[in-house]
Amino acid sequence: MRKFDLKNRSIKSKKRELDEEKETLEKLREETDFEKGDYTALTVAAFLTILPVVIVILFLFYIISTSVFS
């Protein structure tokens, strides 16, 4: 019986930790003020980060598919 109680406590404490973390993130999100060009800069940075990876994956898919179906 004691092991079961310890598992429940650890699950509850993890859930409490996650709830506290969510609250902290929400407070930080509310306190953060974006400047005029921040959204555009974040969008461009995301595209510059993701686009090369997508291009490499598509290129590998093209190479593999042409070698298999040729």
Q: Is the dihedral of CA 58, 59, 61, 62 positive or negative?
A: positive
DSSP helix/strand/coil, 34: coil
Return the DSSP state at 13. Answer: H
Going from N- to C-terminal start, the domains of the chain cover 2-69
34-62 tens-digit pLDDT: 788 888 999 999 999 999 999 999 999 99
Question: pTM of the predicted model, to two decimals?
Answer: 0.50
DSSP helix/strand/coil, 37: coil
Tokens standing for residue 53? 């990876």
Of these ranges, 18-27, 29-38, 56-65, the one predicted with the greatest mean pLDDT is 56-65
